[in-house]
Structure 1
Amino acid sequence: GVTFRVERGELVVARILHGGMIDQQGLLHVGDVIKEVNGKEVGNDPKVLQEMLKNATGSVVLKILPSYQEPHPPRQVFVKSHFDYDPASDNLIPCKEAGLKFTAGDLLQIVNQDDPNWWQACHVEGGSAGLIPSQLLEEKRKAFVKRDLEVPPASGALCGSISGRKKKRMMYLTTKNAEFDRHELLIYEEVARMPPFRRKTLVLIGAQGVGRRSLKNKLIMSDQARYGTTIPYTSRKPKESEKNGQVYCFVSRGEMEADIKAGRYLEHGEYEGNLYGTKIDSIHEVVESGKMCILDVNPQAVKVLRTAEFVPYVVFIEAPDYETLRAMNKAALESGVATKQLTEADLKRTVDESCRIQRGYGHYFDLSLVNDNLEWTFQQLQEAMERLRAEPQWVPVSWVY
């Protein structure tokens, strides 16, 4: 038997008693709307329907609106891997031959996630599917492996116009960003393929002395209608020749401290008793003027910037090897571009810091460029900017949904 209810002026199947003919053949489902019996409209009175069914002879033809929807195709899941995986050296995989090898940064399509430990996936560019460890399995495995210590904040690029003598200063992130400092288990990041769109910010990351500021300035000068940058804030008093808002925005120490406490600074630091910092609102001002805001920031700031609010394109400017770096410094001195000869310790520090940044923050990079020739690196950076305008982009799914 079948019971009905009236819903929004229509007769709806409320319950189907198990064991009956209708139940066995799956002809009706709970929630179906009965429209006609043998060509006659039913209306919304269950008694009329029962009478029509009782008086019907021979076969009964019901016209119904089915309650079920056509099943949606399963949502396609794409991830960017943040670790290298080789099934040949995995002792946990049930069948090494069935595994899918990949490296950090590869884009994978997840085909099946039914098994809690082993997903089926294939490379986005094609190829057959294979087994990969699930997020859960890899989390368990990595929980027992001690990660590298968080890369300490490098001296940032905020105080670029201060004289070139050796400076000791600590860069800090604003207190509200302390939650980002916990160790992350980097495994898979869900991504989505987007048509070309305008990134709000271009973030240049790299060790001190690799040429980030030179690249930033060259890019801005190449197209001032398209690129801009922030003006740092400082609590120091302006010199006679300095105008507010040109090289620095000058504010009182009290005002700056209050804004730092309120989380209005992306990063800030202190040098010779004066505060310097990059205000978050100043990034928005550049973006709202229609320009892409170029930032050369402390690596830790990328954790804060990598959101839908800033949609950054993150480029790592990698230090070349020690000998190349020394030759570049020598050439820069001879041509008058540089005035300071780097010591062996300076060169080693730059190379080591570059390696540490890559190890600690490599999962955030959209592009890595080894700066062993400024003109060539600049050309590659420009080409990457053009590709952003013309080609689809893979971005964190949280930016889209």
Structure 2
Amino acid sequence: MQQVLDNLGELPATTGAKDIDLIFLKGVMESPIVRSLAKAHERLEDVKLEAVQDNNVELVTEILGDISGLSVRDDSAAELSKILQEPHFQVQYFLCYETPPPPEVTNDAAVNNALMQADAVRMIGIRKKAGEPLGVTFRMDKGDLVIARILHGGLIDRQGLLHVGDIIKEVNGKDVGNNPTELQEMLKECSGGITLKILPSYRDAAVPPQVYVQPHFDYNPANDNLIPCREAGLAFKRGDILQIVNREDPNWWQACHLTEGGTGLIPSQFLEEKRKAFVPRDLDEAGILCGTITGKKKKKMMYLTAKNAEFDRHELQIYEEVARMPPFQRKTLILIGAQGVGRRSLKNRLVVLHPTRFGTTVPHTSRRPRNDEQDGQSYRFVTRLEMEMDIKTGRYLEHGEYDGNLYGTKIDSIHEVVNTGRTCILDVNPQALKVLKTAEFMPYVVFIAAPEFDTLKAMHKAVVDAGLTTKQLTDVDLKKTVDESARILRAYRHYFDFIIVNDNLDGAFEKLQSAVDQLCTEAQWVPVSWVY
């Protein structure tokens, strides 16, 4: 720049430059601001950028680990963590990373390394504690050890440096061999800094799907002989909510437990169906319908459900896809239980105490009304021909015959209650759940379970002594109630939203009322078919 200034005064007149232009140019170049910018530019050109240390990858990994716990509470820590994980920043410290000198290798290894493209090999630095799981599994593919899966939320997933399909060539300068189990154990025992030489797959990480399921069975990976890595398994209970984050493996899904926050492997629908197909079926001597006795004809026939005369007791229930909904009032409240467990008492108490919130249906019958009966109060009286026609067209939820007369619950009567803005309470046969568990009725299903035999016997004695009933039940009758309650629970448990053991009627009512009130104040998980 000084050279240009010196030459300005020596320009010959033949250049054609005007004096005013030369004065302006000289004034600009002699400006203190321009001179400062020129000096800064010259100094930057003379400086060669070098890495602060030769272990940049390990240093950044350690920093990310130290601030991981602060990111939730501190905005500055969260911003720093985001910057350090930006692809642009990672490229910079990978370029500055000096790899350790390669160890002596055999001729075969030398040939393999020579075949690798120089721009495809990457060195990845990881810092971990001894015994800390990396959250990654491997498989063999054409003689190479390849990353088979990366567990959501694990150490590798949080760092984002490795991807499914990456080929692992070396660990700390040593060849990894061709045994996935040995590599898994080698990495598990490593501590401190770990250097991996990989051939990246350049596969974009899949976005976790927004799929939520509710399992209908308990699972403990410690007792599973089929899981590829028990430490990577995720335990759960029946009714928990799981988010499925990866379903690429047909046998093992990756899931996140929404309540406890853990992430791991769970058996897929396909695998669990195959496994349960080999479990001996639960047969009992009561026949096809719960509570019926095949060897004796009863005077009162079991109600038959429309479109579903026989219950498929061997239906496999594994996972049910669900969606989260804001608080809302269910259309129906269904009370299921064995005969004599108090369903009708609970239903009547809710309707009497909260007539504006709850209602119930009036059953239809083909018998003639008695002198003191009015149509629409206890029953709706219709002709037998009219009732038989409606049954054939599927307009009854359930129906049966007693003493030569038809009785049944009409589907339209449920809608009549719902259309008034109230929840319709139903104490129906369990077979009806197949029809009711739909978006049309949006039920909240409560199972009223019988208590133990001694408790049930004491409760019945108290009711008889108080003069509330004149019906005397024998020990055989009470035992039958307990057994029938257990059978219903085994066969229909996947339909139940809530279970109440009625060992005290007042206590059972309080639990029922509290559960129903929560539906209007707390978010609910419902079958996804109700929403989409």
Provide TM-score, normalisation by structure 1.
Answer: 0.77
**Alignment partners' CA distance in 2, 1:172 and 1:153:** 12
SS in 1 for 2:430: coil
Aligned partner (choices 302, 305, 328) of residue 170 of structure 1:
302
The CA deviation at 1:74 is 4.2
**Alignment partners' CA distance in 2, 1:109 and 1:208:** 38
CA contact (8 A) 2:464 2:472 kept: yes
The CA deviation at 1:183 is 3.6
SS in 2 for 1:300: helix
Q: Which residue of 1 aligns with 2:334?
A: 203
Q: Which residue of 1 aligns with 2:62?
A: none
The CA deviation at 1:391 is 0.3
**Alignment partners' CA distance in 1, 2:529 and 2:304:** 27
Asked whether 1:356 is paired with 2:490, we answer no
CA contact (8 A) 1:154 1:171 kept: no
Provide TM-score, normalisation by structure 2.
Answer: 0.58
**Structure 1 residues 313 and 224 mapped into 2: Cα distance closer, same or farther (>3 Å)?**
same
**Alignment partners' CA distance in 2, 1:284 and 1:295:** 12
Structure with the higher fraction of residues in helix conformation: 2
**Structure index of larger Rg:** 2
**Structure 1 residues 380 and 320 mapped into 2: Cα distance closer, same or farther (>3 Å)?**
same
The CA deviation at 1:86 is 1.6
CA contact (8 A) 2:313 2:491 kept: no
**Alignment partners' CA distance in 1, 2:389 and 2:291:** 24
Q: How does 1:108-257 map to 2 (within 5 A)?
A: 108-149=242-283, 152-154=289-291, 168-174=300-306, 176-178=307-309, 181=312, 183-257=314-388
The CA deviation at 1:167 is 6.0
Return the letter of the residue paired with 2:263: A
Q: How does 1:24-39 map to 2 (within 5 A)?
A: none
Greater CA drift, 239-248 or 146-155: 146-155
Q: How does 1:81-100 map to 2 (within 5 A)?
A: 81-100=215-234
Asked whether 1:336 is paired with 2:467, we answer yes
SS in 1 for 2:525: strand
Q: Which residue of 2 aligns with 1:60?
A: none
SS in 2 for 1:320: coil
**Alignment partners' CA distance in 2, 1:180 and 1:308:** 21
The CA deviation at 1:255 is 0.8
Aligned partner (choices 95, 104, 115) of residue 238 of structure 2:
104
Return the letter of the residue paired with 2:300: K
The CA deviation at 1:87 is 1.3
SS in 1 for 2:520: helix
Q: Which residue of 1 aligns with 2:500?
A: 369
SS in 2 for 1:325: helix
What is the root-mean-square deviation in Å for CA atoms of aligned residues? 1.9
SS in 2 for 1:351: helix
The CA deviation at 1:169 is 2.5
**Structure 1 residues 153 and 355 mapped into 2: Cα distance closer, same or farther (>3 Å)?**
closer
**Structure 1 residues 154 and 310 mapped into 2: Cα distance closer, same or farther (>3 Å)?**
farther
Gaps of 5+ in 1: 1-70, 156-165
Gaps of 5+ in 2: 1-204, 293-297
CA contact (8 A) 2:361 2:414 kept: yes
SS in 1 for 2:308: helix
**Alignment partners' CA distance in 2, 1:180 and 1:72:** 41
Structure with more relative contact order (C-alpha pairs < 8 Å, separation 6 or more): 1
Structure with the higher fraction of residues in strand conformation: 1
**Structure 1 residues 257 and 181 mapped into 2: Cα distance closer, same or farther (>3 Å)?**
farther
**Alignment partners' CA distance in 2, 1:214 and 1:283:** 20
**Alignment partners' CA distance in 1, 2:499 and 2:250:** 34
